[in-house]
Structure 1
């Protein structure tokens, strides 16, 4: 599944590149306003922080929410106390787009994450040109040399990489490239099975000074509390927010 998702994302990026060459996107990335300081926004605090996700669909659950106005949803997230907003820009299985990212960035003042299957520099320049402050890099999807190259490019453009892991080996690989924001995804992107206890098993291998993000398998406040008690500084939440009243749900989660 992960290989298919990455291949599809790269094919779609090549289609966009044919219409908007790399030199134009790179120039737009350098001309964009400076990225917001996502590490400061997500730094450890007395209470858990939330990255709230604009997510229409997923391969495992299918359609989740129509989200005709992603900017309005993002404003609700900011109003509700989210520290950052994640925007799924993958179009084939998640029904997102870079247009969603553009609209969200224009509507809110907190950091915005481009969540996609990023595997080449063109996609990173696209993210910055669209106003992203953070970019997702999935360790399982990248050879170490490419992970290092993309991490360096993300940080060189003033953004922050959320480096996603699924095992102790992947955490080590993330730390080896200098990741300051490490995510542990409870969902295995090869099988799409969930293991909510994975974060707790890996948390101690993420050193102090690196922001720890728990991803996936959040349905309610008890799940947020589970991650918080295991050492999560930040919890990334999508489905639970897009299928409920986001402001009320965020209030419950942030009370943990």
Structure 2
């Protein structure tokens, strides 16, 4: 059993337990369940934002503890100041050290779209995402059939949430249904956890040009951003690069400034 299989098996247990503790009807009574949220797709298409989906993540199965000190309240407002298009919050506790309360805390301090990043396998989790203030859910093609992904997508749309579907191969693109708002290519092999931007570049050729595309993992420099933009990517999910810094928010702001500076230098050379 690989790490992805272990995570999904544990998630099934967690969801069953959580449903017994908090029913869907109770979730529908939460304040955020009745609130409108900003659209991740719209922010990714808005030129006033830089395309970055910055992530709040404490740990991962492959790297262990990444940052156990920086709080949501410290990091997220600075992510917003950096001009990001979205903020991804890990809510898996067993393997990533996250918590649903992290997303609630993030919603309180930002107006930017928030992606609930978790291993979504049940409609219950979609109701949860809405109730805690999420703007979008993550669907991972590797763990869902076309029918399962379609069912979760329909519910998300009914609740006013965007859908980011993550793929790792050309074959998984066949599981992307018409309701999906954004398709993300994960450059990390979920079975080996090795990372390569070539994964995005290769899959971009097989994706319809009109799809909003993002690249996930392994993005460390402004040059990586420009390379991926050349291949049609509008969004870039970055977590570890920022979270490994003792001040993730400041690291994000510096990265965003470096992107602007590089663009400025390129434009000046063209003018000369």
Quote the offset at 1:3 in angstroms.
1.4
Instruction: Quote the residue 1:70 is aligned against.
Output: 72
Q: Which has the higher contact order (CA 8 A, sep 6+)?
A: 1
40-49 or 239-248, larger mean C-alpha shift: 40-49
Q: What per-residue deviation string (whole Å, max 9, x for no partner) do you get for residues 62-120 of structure 1?
A: 11111442122010100111111000000011100000000001100110000000100
Q: Distance in 2 between matches of 1:51 and 1:131?
A: 17
- Return the alpha-carbon distance in structure 1 between the equivalents of residues 114 and 58 of structure 2: 17
Separation in structure 1 between the aligned mates of residue 188 and residue 146 of structure 2, nearest angstrom: 21
Report the CA distance between 1:249 and its aligned residue.
Answer: 2.3
- Maintained 8 Å contact 1:45/1:233: no
> Which residue of the partner structure matches residue 229 of structure 2?
228
Give the match for residue 215 of structure 1.
Answer: 216
Once superposed, what is the RMSD of the aligned Cα atoms? 1.9
Query: 2:30 corresponds to which residue?
Result: 28
What is residue 16 of structure 2 aligned with on the other side? 14
1:92 matched to which residue of 2? 94
Greater shift in the superposed pair: 39-48 or 239-248: 39-48
Are the aligned partners of 2:56 and 2:72 in contact in 1 as well (CA < 8 Å)?
yes
> Which of 114-123 and 201-210 deviates more?
201-210
Q: What is aligned with 1:250? A: 256
Which residue is 2:266 aligned to?
none
Q: What is the CA–CA distance in structure 1 between the aligned matches of 2:118 and 2:33, rounded to whole Å?
A: 22
The equivalent residue for 2:43 is: 41
Task: Find 1:53's aligned residue among 47, 52, 55.
Answer: 55
1:157 is aligned, of 153, 156, 159, to 159
Deviation at 1:38, TM superposition (A): 1.9
Give the match's secondary structure for 1:72: helix
State how far apart, in whole Å, the 2-side matches of 1:229 and 1:44 are: 18
Deviations 1:150-206 (A, max 9, x none): 0111111111010000111212221x3432200000011122122220111111322
Say if 1:151 and 1:171 are closer, same or farther in 2 by CA, change over 3 A: same
Structure with larger Rg:
2
SS in 1 for 2:25: helix
Post-superposition offset of 1:45: 4.2
Would you say the 8 A contact 1:48–1:254 is kept in 2?
A: no
Secondary structure of the structure 1 residue equivalent to 2:95: coil
Partner of 1:199: 200
What is the deviation of 1:17?
1.8
Q: Which runs of 5+ in 1 are unaligned?
A: none
**1: CA distance, partners of 2:28 / 2:15:** 14
TM-score by length of structure 2 reads 0.87
User: Could you say which residue in structure 2 is the equivalent of 1:186?
Assistant: 187
Counterparts in 2 of 1:44 and 1:228: CA distance versus 1, 3 Å? farther
Structure 2, unaligned runs of 5 or more? 246-250, 264-272
Change (3 A) 1:47 1:23: closer
Q: Aligned partners of 1:148 and 1:93: how far apart in 2?
A: 26
